[in-house]
Structure 1
C-alpha cells in the first residue's frame, strides 16, 4: 500500500508538473516566461493536439534519457555550498585535430530561467515529445562545437545556493558564473585551448555581455591592459585569471538597454498591426512613464510599468505572445521540459539532484526573478563597447518578435559609441541565401554583425532549427575562427523540413 501511495503521488506530480510550474511563475510575476523572455502571454483557452515526430534512437527505440558527455555540479562558492548544475555535449562531427574546436555556452533569460529550457526546446541535442520521450534535434548547436548548458544564477533549476545569497545584480551574477566556468575548465584541462563562445537570448541580452565582459576584464587584469577598457567594473581582488579564452558572443532577440528599447515599443506594435492609432497613443504615454522611471533610477517601478506596457499591447491585440505574433499559444505553453525533468527515472539518471517528491523542477524561478527584479531595467550596452574592441559580436533577430525584435535592438545598437559606429550604420545589408531562398539579412562591419532572420520569432533556433544551426556555424567559422564556410549552399529544402519543429505549424497561424 505504501508503494501504491508513493506511485500515485508521483503520477499526480507528473500530470501537474507543467501546470504547477506555470501557475507558480504567474503567481510570482505574470511577466515571467518559460522561455526566458521574462514576459509571456498565454491564451489558456487554446487547445492544441500536437503530433510528435518519431523518436530517432537506435533501431527506432524511443529515447528515454539524454546522453550528455558529462553533467553534474560545478562549485561556485565552496565555503557557502553554492553550486551550479550543468550538462555538456561534445561536438557530434568534430573534425580531426579538433583540440581548438570552440565550446558554445548557452544562457537563458528571465531573469531566473534555466538554460536547460533551451537545451530541450531551443538548440540542444533533443526536443521533448508528447509522451515525454526525446527526439533528436537535427539543428542542434553541437554538430560542430561542444555545447555547455549551465543553470544560473544560483537558485535556478537544480543549482544550489547553499548559504549564499542569490545575486541581485549583473556583476555578481557574472562573478558566480565565472567561478563555475573556471571549475568546468579546470576539471577538463584538455578543453583549456578551446575558446568559449557565449550565447543566449532575451534577458540573456544582459547575461551574455556581462559574463563576456567579466572574462575580458579578468584577462585584461592578468595581462596588463585593464586600463585600456573604457567601461571597467569593480572586480574583486581575488578574481583568478581565466584558464580559458573568450572566443566571442552572440545575442538573440536580446533585452540589453531598457530605455532605448522601450522607446520603440508602441511604434513596433502599431507597425505590425497589433494596435491602432488611438491605442498607440496610450502605449506611447505608458512608455514615456517607463523611460522617466528609468532615468530617475526607480528600477522596480520601471520594471513593473514596463510589464504593464507589454500587457496592454498584448491585451489590445489579443496576442497569445508578443515574442512571435504569429503564434496562437506562447512558446512551450505546456511546459514540456518541466514535465520531462520531473520524471523519477530522469532524476535517478541525473544522480545527486532532489527527488521529484521533494522538489519540482521549474524552467523559471520566481524567487530569482523577484530578487533580480530591480536590475531588469539597468543597461549593459556599454559593456558591449569594450567587447567590440577585442571580440566578434553577433546580434541575431527573429523577424516576428514584437517584444525584443529588430527595431528594438536596432534602437540600442545604433547608439553604441564605438569606433565602428559610422561604418556599421553605412554598411550594406546582404541577403543570406539558404536552400536558394532568402533566409535573412546579414550586415557586418568590423567586429559587429547583425542578422535578421525571416519567418522566425523570439526563439530563432526553435522556429527554424536548421537555419539556426547554419547561422551559428557560419558566424563561428568565419568570424571567431577565421575559416571558410559554405554549408548553407549544400543543404536542401528537404533538410530544412526534416529538421523542422512540428509545433511551428500547429501553434502558428
Structure 2
C-alpha cells in the first residue's frame, strides 16, 4: 500500500503527542492522494500544475497520513494478491498497513489516530475503526461486550496505536435509509417536479427492494440509474454540489499531475503505474458490496470512541437529509439525548457574526452541517473545515464524554498563532 505522510506544521500540543489524521477517499476505488492535492493536504494544486500552500490544511497542527486503499487504488499495487471484495477483508488489509506504519515509525505510537474520509469512505471509516476496536477488545478480553462483532482473523494482533476518533464527510453509510430520501431531497432542492418525484420514488422503491432481498449487484445498478434519472431530469452537472457548473476536478488535474514522471520520482511512487483518481477495476470488484450498510457498527464505536459526521448543505447525493435519515435511527444509549438536543449556530470570531454551520452534539456523537459547501467540504470551505476538525479533535481530549465546543480549540489556535509569530521573528 502506498502512503504519504506529512508532519504537522505546528504540532499541538507537541511533536510527541500531536494526533495523526488518516484520510481515506471514497469510490470504491478512489485514491486518497486526490484528497492530498485537492482537499485538505498541505498543498493546493493549481491550473498551471504548480503547488501553493493550502490555508485550510488539516496538517496545520496534526500529522496527516494519506493512504491509497484498497490495493489496486492509486499507487497501491495489487500484484498477485486479490483485490478485496468486501469491507471486512478491506479493513483487514488496511489494519495491517496501519500496524506496519506505526511499527516502522515507533515514535508515533503515543499519537492517537483519527480516521477520516468522505463519500464512500462513509463505509471505509466505520469498518476499519470497528476492526481496530474489536482487535483491542480481543486483547483486553472485552470482545463479548461488542454488539456487532465480526469474524476477525484468529491471529489478529492488538493495535500498536490508539484510536482517537473517526470523522465522515458527506458519507454513504446506510444505502437503504439514504436511498429512501433521494427523491425527496431532489424535489425539495428544486431539481425535479412532483411528477418526476413520483418517477424517482418508483426507482428508489426498486433499489430498496433489491437491497432488502440481498440482490446487491442489481441494487447498485438500479441506484446508479436513480441518480442518473435525477441528474438528467434536472440537467445538473453534478448532484455532489447543485451550485456547480461542472463536477469536482472535471479536468482531472490531480490525475495529470500525478502521472508526471518527475512528480512520481519525487513521491517515490511506482513509475510504471498509470495513476487514476478512481479505479474502474476496484469499483467493478467492490460494486456488489456498495449497497450493504455499515451503520450497525456505529453503536460499538460510540461506546468506545468519538464520532463526527459532517456534511456540506448543497450536496444532493450524500448530504444532510441523506445522513440524518440513518443517524436518526441509530440504536445507541445516547439516542434520546441526541434527538432532543437543540442544534446551534456555529460562529467564529474570524468571520464576525456569519454562521459557518450548524452543530448538534451529545456524548460522543457530533453532527455538523457546513454552510456554503457541497460534497467536498474541505475543498469548498478550506479554512472552515480546518477549524471544524481542529475544534472537534480538541474537544475529544476532555475527560469523559464531551461536546463539540469552539472554546476547546481556542487554546490550540493561540498556540499555532504564537508559533507562526515566533517562526516569522526567527526568519
State the TM bucket, normalised to the shorter chain: over 0.9
| Cα deviation digits, residues 431-485 of structure 1 (max 9, x gap) | 0002121000000111101001110000001001000000000000012456822
The residue number in structure 2 matching 1:225 is 142
**Cα deviation per residue 1:217-241 (whole Å; 9 max; x = unaligned)?**
0000001111000000000011111
3-state secondary structure, aligned to 1:200:
strand
Contact 1:392-1:480 within 8 A present in 2 as well: no
Q: Distance in 2 between matches of 1:334 and 1:478?
A: 38
Pair 1:402 & 2:316 matched = yes
Report SS of the residue matched to 1:88.
Answer: strand
The answer to whether the Cα contact below 8 Å between 2:240 and 2:315 also exists between their aligned partners in 1 is yes
In the aligned structure 2, how far is the partner of 1:97 from the partner of 1:440? 30
Quick one: distance in 1 between partners of 2:309 and 2:412? 19
- In the TM superposition, what whole-angstrom CA distance separates every residue of 1:338-379 from its partner, at most 9, and x where no partner exists? 11111111122233512xxx4321111100000000000000
Classify 1:255/1:341 alpha carbon distance in 2 versus 1 (closer, same or farther; 3 Å).
same
Aligned residues: 404
Deviation at 1:144, TM superposition (A): 0.8
Name the CA shift for 1:159/1:271 in 2 (closer, same or farther; >3 Å): same
In structure 1, the partner of 2:246 is 329
Contact 1:433 1:488 in 2 (8 A): no
**SS in structure 2 at match of 1:251:** strand
Partner of 1:45: none
CA distance in structure 1 between the aligned counterparts of 2:398 and 2:65, rounded to whole angstroms: 19
Query: Could you report, residue by residue, the CA deviation over 1:129-188 in whole angstroms, capped at 9, with x for unpaired residues?
Result: 111111110100000100000000000111111211000000000000000000000011
**Residues of 2 paired with 1:96 and 1:234: CA distance?**
38
Q: Does 1:256 align with 2:170?
A: no
Matches within 5 A, 1:46-65: none
Q: Map 1:41-440 onto structure 2 (within 5 A).
A: 84-95=1-12, 97-351=14-268, 353-354=270-271, 358-434=272-348, 435-436=351-352, 437-440=354-357
CA RMSD across the alignment: 1.4
| Structure 1 stretches of 4+ moved >4 Å | 480-483, 487-490
Question: Residues 75 and 273 of structure 2 are in contact (CA less than 8 Å); yes or no, is this contact kept in structure 1?
Answer: no
Q: 1:486 aligns with which of 406, 410, 420?
A: 410
SS of the equivalent of 2:345 reads: strand
Q: 1:428 to 1:159 in 2, by over 3 A?
A: same
**Secondary structure of 1:485 counterpart:** helix
Distance 1:95 1:247 in 2: 15
Shift of 1:212: 0.3
Contact 2:12 2:62 in 1 (8 A): no
Residue of structure 2 in register with 1:465 after alignment? 382
d(CA) in 2 for partners of 1:369, 1:408: 22
In structure 2, the residue matched to 1:38 is none
Conserved 8 A contact 2:75-2:269: no
TM-score (norm 2): 0.93
